[in-house]
Structure 1
Amino acid sequence: MKLFLTVFVSVVLALAGIAEAKPYKVVKGDTLSGIALREMGSVKFIEDIMKVNSQKIKNSKHIEVGWNIEIPESSAKEQLVKNILTVSKKKVVVAKKVTTGTKENPAAYTNSEVGDDPWRGNVIEGLRLLGIDILEGADVRFSYEGMDELKPGEVVQMLSGKNKAKWYEVQLSPEKAMVRRLGIIINGKRIGVVYLKPECANWLTREDLPPVPSEPAPPAAPEPENPSISMPIVEPFVPFEPFIPWVPEKPPQCRDFELSLGTGLLFGSEASMKDQWYYGEGMYWNSCWGWSQGIGFYFNGDFGDVDSPYEWDNFGIGPQVGLRYQGIIKDKSGVVHPFGWTAKLRLIWANATGNNPESGYDMSQKDLLLGLYNEYLRQLKKGLIVGITFEAWMSLYSSIDSTWSGDSPSDRARAEIKIFLQKKISEDWQIRGGLSSFYQFSDYTLAAGPFGEFRYNEWLMIGASAYYLFPGVVGGPSVRIEMGNYFRQKRQQQILEGIWAVDADGNPKEVNHGKKEKEESCFFCN
């Protein structure tokens, strides 16, 4: 090190190799301190200048314009060397890398982080990552004990991703700070609690838990011969506020129900058309995750008039069957996004009537209609999804009874496609908007236009649509009610009356449905 400094200083001095002094002529406005600062880099060198020019400069505050003085260089060299040597003796302090996510330096847990990285590991693995030692073969169960609120500034340890456990300082708003409190029951004994974040199924701890009993696990109690319907680890798919927590390879079975009703008005610019439409459907699905099959009913109809005058009234009803798949897609960054595909095949018996009181025209047409409905939904990012629907109808059989001889049945075939985006705008409200187009074979009508609706908690939808009919415009308001979420929430309440356990692989199993152990009610992962 000394050799390096010697060489370095020598090079610096060689590069600075200048004569002992250089001439300088004092000009108007000069001061000795200013010359020292400008020419030598510091007012400290005033005395050096005075020594070299002792014959002229007697007072540091008095110099005269036109004086020719000399500016010493050696002092600058000496000061440069001194500065180099002084710096070389100082210790270089390298800033240490600050690691967040430790108990001593927890990461911030804010609203934007909620649901971003859901836990996707095994239950037993998760408890062990949180410092809860679970013996091999132990009988592990959880009892639901209510909801708690994480306090601002509180430090918690929480799981995320596949095998991550970090410490966080809570900085959540009250509505985002709610967690489910679950009692941990090991071999029949409650040993502590663990908490679950509803939005992402991330496990967390808020306090130290007593150690797990060290005695060998007793044989597990036999399961009932006729267990009740089990609940999925993944909450039933709610397309626009999806809940995707840990997903086991073989999630338990569950059931799903849908009931939808809707009505609306259409007003046309051509012939002062007025029409009211309505529809309804119900579906029972044999699973709420992965592949599922469904069966249900469907009906639709409309009635209205134009100023010709002509009036009509249409109605059809029949069964429908469906096939559905709901799962997750992982993007390049490892974040999972839910998606769903649904197909429904409908067969309805329809009756259409029409009459013109002025001309005496009256008709009644009967049709057997086959319909196909397809829907695809995919989450783009948290709070935003894209969707596309396609619906088509064709007539398998038609007959008509008309006051006009030779009148033939109208072609009831029709096809419609919709593309839309849906955005969450508050905790309760979302907004959907997109484009729709349909083709009606009976009168060769092609129409297209925008539509939109406000959606309250995914059960009440209020919207409007408009179509350009080439030529002509129709449009009007609509209201719909979809009860799928209501049935899912009721099912969740039923599960709160049950108690859950995990098997040797960490997968959940339902022990009973809350008949005798209602006080230990549990909601495992939702």
Structure 2
Amino acid sequence: MRITLWLSAFFAVMLLASVASAEDVVEHKVEPGETLIKISRQYDNIKPQQIKEANPIIKSIHRIDSGWVLKIPAKKKVVVPAQKKTDETIVETGDKKVEAQKPVSVKTEMNKVKTKKSPRVTKALPPAKEYIPGGMGLPRKFYDTKNIGRAPTTMSNDKAFSKILLPPSVKEKLKLAVARGEGIDSFVSPGDQFLMTYGQEGVGDFTLRHHSQLFAKQYLVEDGGLIYDIRLIAWCRNWTRYREFPPAIEPPPSKPPTAVLGPPVEEEEPFEYLPAPEKHWTIEHEPIIGAWVWQNELARGWGGYAEYMAWLRKGRCYEFENGWSPGIGIYGMYSEGESRASSYNWDEDAFGGQAGIKYIAGGLEDPWQWQLKLRLVWEDMDGGNAEGYHMDQDHLKLGFYTEYVEKEDEGFLWGITGEAWFGLDGSIDSSWSGDIPSKRGMAAINLFGQWKLNEDWQLRLSGGPFYQEWDRLTGIHLQAEFRWNETIMFGPYISFFPFGLSSVYDGISAMDLTTPGAFVRVEFGKPIRDYYANKRMEAVKAADRQWLDDLLKTKFANET
């Protein structure tokens, strides 16, 4: 009886062993779009090179065709979905998104307070051995369809690798892999999470929210017991860092199985994604129009102006790089007014050209800009009263306008502006023989702060001193400016004279000259930028679709 039981157990063990041995090699049919890397991750303890060695039909680990049946020297991996831990949930409510925070302990909240960093501090984060989505101290963002291609990475590779917090040893290996051209064809897919660079300084913790995959070159760097998955998005040249994974354990060498019959394989050049077009110099259009009204106890009036600048900037399809940009344009102004104490009235107009230069720096998080415009205009001024007085004077005037703007954070920016006009030459034709041309110079400086109210509206408050040469007055100008979508600006202003009046106004109080007014201005730069951004995005979509169609017809087409 014991012998019978022993023999039964022996044969059962042998049967299980034979079944296990049979499972050591399994068959896998290649589906369209699969790569050896994707296939290897579906099995335990297997690397792409082992699959290649087990299948002589594979000539290169970068080239397999759909429909092939491959021998895989490993068991099928059983994948248990891991519960995703996150500190925030995006709840879709119609067209709005609500962030629902999970309950956290008092200790956790205290730690958040202690470790809170500003956007500027995140630039100095130390290298991280592992990327944990949402846990790196970098801003969490969506890489939306509307943003793709708008801020391509222009920093050096070394700087970009530091921005995505790669350890020094990984950076050096990655530089070598890039220099050797060891990147393999890959994709960045909707829903993927990664650290990503953009612009000259930008970096963030992103989730891709796009209608389709984006082609990328993938670099797998093994270091310190981990494999680093770094991808370069071909269209925008942004570097991405995915979550690391451990390398597969090397199985003992085994005899390669018999080759599986399949279609003949011809050696071919690796399929390469067409690079983005070369960048070149192009024109950025900046038209502006504005109008104002004013009144005090002595007079009242209104006016308007228009200007246009064509800035020469380096970029393509209205997608520009930072740096220096020269520009030329035109400038024109018209105003008129009347005295409230007499029958005198006047009007003036000016027209001429302008040239400028501006410098833009920083990334999406902390941009800053400086510009200077020089203007040369011819001004004509007419005036008269009911008693028969009339004059007509002409002036050649030189003016300049300068501006510095810096964004501190998402909700606030500040800046300073300066403007001045100088009369170069003047003449007058008057019914009074003693008339001489009036002096037409002026200067003004304004400081401003701008606060974001919501997605469409911002508020700018400004103020500063000014001087007007024609009546030798120095005053203060204060202004509130409501800004809709960075396109339409309007608001009230007031000018007053706390430093006293000149002899021109003997017998008149400073209160009589206190001048309230209102203005409106339309800047067309942003609508033009948005128009070209939409055109660029449509071009990106069309190029992506065409490239993917061509790829499916060539590299991943089913062999029959």
Q: TM-score, normalised by structure 1?
A: 0.55
Indicate how the Cα distance of structure 1 residues 186 and 309 shifts in structure 2: closer, same or farther if over 3 A, else same: same
Aligned residues: 349
Structure 1 counterpart of 2:312: 286
- Secondary structure (helix, strand or coil) at the match of 1:426 reads coil
C-alpha displacement at 1:410, in angstroms? 0.7
Amino acid at match of 1:298: Y
8 Å CA contact 1:458, 1:482 repeated in 2: yes
The alpha carbon displacement at 1:492 in A equals 2.2
User: Counterparts of 2:409 and 2:472 in 1: how far apart (Å)?
Assistant: 40
Contact in 2 for aligned 1:338/1:379 (Cα 8 Å):
yes
Does structure 1 residue 275 correspond to structure 2 residue 301?
yes
Aligned partner of 2:521 among 475, 480, 491: 480
Secondary structure of the residue that 2:291 maps to in structure 1?
strand
Sort the Cα spacing of 1:144 and 1:459 in 2 relative to 1 into closer, same or farther, 3 A: farther
SS at match of 1:107: coil
- How many Å separate the matches in 2 of 1:163 and 1:371? 35
* CA distance in 2: counterparts of 1:164 and 1:260, whole angstroms: 30
- 2:368: which partner in 1? 339
Q: Residue 296 of structure 1: CA displacement? A: 0.4
Q: Displacement of 1:493 after TM fit? A: 2.9
**Residues of 1 paired with 2:457 and 2:395: CA distance?**
40
Q: Distance in 2 between matches of 1:401 and 1:163?
A: 59
Once residues 306 and 133 of structure 2 are traced to their aligned partners in structure 1, the CA distance between those partners, rounded to angstroms, is 52
Does structure 1 residue 107 correspond to structure 2 residue 134?
yes
Q: Which structure has the bigger radius of gyration?
A: 1
Structure 1 partner of 2:195: 158
Q: Which amino acid aligns with 2:308?
A: G
In 2, the alpha carbon distance for the partners of 1:411 and 1:164 equals: 50
Write out aligned runs for 1:108-507 (5 A): 113-114=140-141, 122=157, 136-137=180-181, 156-159=193-196, 183-184=214-215, 203=240, 218=270, 230=279, 253-268=281-296, 270-271=297-298, 273-287=299-313, 288=320, 289-307=322-340, 308-328=342-362, 337-357=366-386, 359-469=387-497, 470=500, 471=510, 472-498=513-539
Aligned AA (2:305): Y
| Superposition deviation, residue 437 in structure 1 | 2.2
RMSD: 4.9
Q: Is the 8 A contact 1:102 1:166 kept in 2?
A: no
Structure 1 residues 478 and 159, CA gap change in structure 2 (3 angstroms)? same
Are the equivalent residues in 1 in contact too, given 2:216–2:232 (CA < 8 A)?
no
In structure 1, C-alpha distance between the alignment counterparts of 2:530 and 2:482, rounded to whole Å: 21
Structure 1 Cα separation of the partners of residues 210 and 460 of structure 2: 30
Question: What SS does the corresponding residue of 2:439 show, helix, strand or coil?
Answer: coil
Does the Cα contact within 8 Å between 1:265 and 1:276 map onto a contact in 2?
yes
Equivalent position SS for 2:367: strand
**CA-to-aligned-CA distance 1:429-475 (integer Å, 9 cap, x gap):** 11100213211111112120311111111111111110103412101
Q: 1:195, 1:205 within 8 Å by CA — same for their partners in 2?
A: no
In 1: Cα distance, 2:201 partner to 2:523 partner: 38
Hey, what does 1:508 align to over in structure 2? none
Local SS of the residue matching 1:495: helix
Provide closer, same or farther for how the CA distance between residues 229 and 297 of structure 1 changes in structure 2, counting only shifts above 3 A: farther
User: Structure 1 residues 487, 165: CA separation in 2 closer, same or farther (over 3 Å shift)?
Assistant: closer
Counterpart amino acid of residue 376 in structure 1: Y
Shift of 1:404: 1.0
Following the alignment from structure 2 to structure 1, what is the Cα–Cα distance between the partners of residues 376 and 545? 44
Note closer, same or farther for the CA distance 1:407–1:144 as it changes in structure 2 (3 Å cut): farther
What SS class does the counterpart of residue 406 from structure 2 fall into? strand
Change (3 A) 1:370 1:305: same
Q: State the Cα distance separating 1:393 from its structure 2 match.
A: 0.6
The 2-side partners of 1:163 and 1:389 are apart by 26
CA distance in 2, matches of 1:144, 1:457: 32
Q: Distance in 1 between matches of 2:273 and 2:141?
A: 38
Q: Distance in 1 between matches of 2:217 and 2:239?
A: 20
Shift in alpha-carbon separation, 1:140–1:497, aligned structure 2, 3 A: farther
- Which residue identity lines up with residue 184 of structure 1 in the other structure? F
**Unaligned ranges ≥5, structure 1:** 1-96, 171-176, 188-192, 209-214, 231-251, 330-334, 501-513, 522-526
User: CA–CA distance in 2 between the matches of 1:222 and 1:102?
Assistant: 33
Asked if 2 retains the 8 angstrom alpha-carbon contact of 1:194 and 1:205, the reply is no
| Unaligned segments of structure 2, at least 5 residues | 1-110, 112-127, 143-151, 219-230, 246-266, 314-319, 501-509, 549-560
Q: CA deviation at 1:489?
A: 2.0
2:434 aligned counterpart, secondary structure: coil
Aligned CA distance change for structure 1 residues 163 and 468 (closer, same or farther; 3 Å): closer
CA contact (8 A) 2:401 2:420 kept: yes
1:301, distance to aligned residue in structure 2 (A): 2.3
The answer to whether the 8 A contact 2:215-2:273 is kept is: no
Deviation for aligned residue 1:135: 8.9
Deviation readout 1:16-68 (Å, 9 max, x if unpaired): xxxxxxxxxxxxxxxxxxxxxxxxxxxxxxxxxxxxxxxxxxxxxxxxxxxxx
Percent identity, please.
28
CA gap 1:102/1:437 in 2 versus in 1, 3 angstroms: same
Alpha-carbon contact 1:141-1:499 (below 8 Å) kept: no
Tell me the SS of whatever aligns to 2:455.
coil
Structure 2: distance between partners of 1:391 and 1:107: 46
In the TM superposition, residue 395 of structure 1 has moved relative to its aligned partner by: 1.1
Greater relative contact order (CA < 8 Å, ≥ 6 in sequence): 1
Counterpart of 1:427 in 2: which secondary structure?
coil
**Partner secondary structure for residue 533 of structure 2:** helix
CA distance in 2, matches of 1:106, 1:401: 76
> Normalized against structure 2, the TM-score is what?
0.52
Q: Cα deviation per residue 1:167-215 (whole Å; 9 max; x = unaligned)?
A: 88x8xxxxxx95685520669xxxxx9989x9xx78576999xxxxxx9
Query: Deviations for 1:257-309, whole angstroms, at most 9, x for unmatched residues?
Result: 211111111111x22x2211211111111115211110000112211112212
| Distance verdict in 2 for CA 1:362–1:484, change over 3 Å | same
1:396 CA drift (Å): 1.3
Which residue number corresponds to residue 49 of structure 2? none
Contact kept in structure 2, 1:301 and 1:315, CA below 8 Å: yes
Secondary structure of 1:309's match? coil
Letter of the 2:300 counterpart: K
